[in-house]
Structure 1
Amino acid sequence: MDSWTAALWAAATFVWFGMVLAISFLETPLKFRAPGVTVPIGLGIGRLVFRALNAAEVVLGLVVVVAMTSGGHRRAPEILSVVALTALTVQLTVVRPQLRRRTERVLAGRSQQRSTAHLLYVALEVVKAPALLAAGVLLLAG
């Protein structure tokens, strides 16, 4: 793998990691502590923020896939990147639809119960973030 491809892969990985860290582990929990933020308001904001985050993740994931498929594979960063891509795929295809339906119910005033889908989403973030960090570090280490 040439150094430009490795640098692109590492950059996409670290940007992706930073976005997940900032949104999922900082903004989301803090949002509900802000004065005047009710559950419906927080969920409405979260829906917009996570839609944008997930769109950015898809773009960064595609950059990672292109870099991975350009030849000269590095096994450990490749495995870690696949872990992150798999976590994202499960979030987008399995968990987000469940969360979207729950959010619609809450915003319509029909449900206030906690969702196990939120716990699954967080668990996948806990898998994805360290995988991205480790992949990026290994890519930089050469």
Structure 2
Amino acid sequence: MIRFIAYVWLGLVLGVSFLATPIKFRAKSLTRPVALDVGRTTFHAFGKLEWVLSLALVVITVQVRDSLEPVDWFLIALVLVIVVGQTLWLIPRLDVRVAAIIAGEEVPRSHLHSVYAGAEFVKALALLLLGAWTAGHV
């Protein structure tokens, strides 16, 4: 079941973060503030779904804990830490920037978007490895 959750979650991350999000910024008729507002709304909804997936992963992990190997625990913890970090630290800071841009303010360049993209990449890789690694023993 961990494998199933990992692969479903991976598909969602790939679809939302690596496909839908970059594509919307290529739409010529969509202004940057509108695209950012759509992105903010999307990522807030996706964040809620990720908490549901996190809870499911924790519940399943508790049920199969005796068959987990150290690498399983590491990958599960890594995914959960990323979700917590994005929710409590990163997304609120990105929200402030988006609100300022929507309000027409000039905002200085920031590394926050790159940090978010990097976290999504690491999360996707961890989910891929978790699904592949647990296939043989959980």
| Mapped partners of 1:85, 1:104: distance in 2 | 27
Deviation at 1:113, TM superposition (A): 4.2
Aligned to 1:86: 81
Superposed, 1:12-23 pairs within 5 Å as 12-23=5-16
1 or 2 for the larger relative contact order (CA 8 Å, sep ≥6)?
Answer: 2
Deviation at 1:126, TM superposition (A): 1.3
Q: Is the 8 A contact 1:77 1:134 kept in 2?
A: no
Residue of structure 2 aligned with 1:65, choices 25, 48, 58: 58
Deviation at 1:34, TM superposition (A): 1.1
Q: Is the 8 A contact 1:12 1:60 kept in 2?
A: yes
Q: C-alpha deviations, 1:63-104, integer Å up to 9, x for none?
A: 111111223141222211111111111111111010011111
Gapped regions of structure 2 (runs ≥ 5):
none
Identical columns (%): 35
What code does the residue aligned with 2:31 have?
T
How many positions carry a matched residue from both structures?
135
Q: Is the 8 A contact 1:43 1:103 kept in 2?
A: yes
Instruction: Spell out structure 1 runs of 4+ moving beyond 2 A.
Output: 111-115
For the aligned residues, what is the CA RMSD? 1.3
| Mapped partners of 1:112, 1:39: distance in 2 | 13
| Mapped partners of 1:111, 1:81: distance in 2 | 39
| TM-score under structure 2 length normalisation | 0.91
| Mapped partners of 2:136, 2:109: distance in 1 | 42
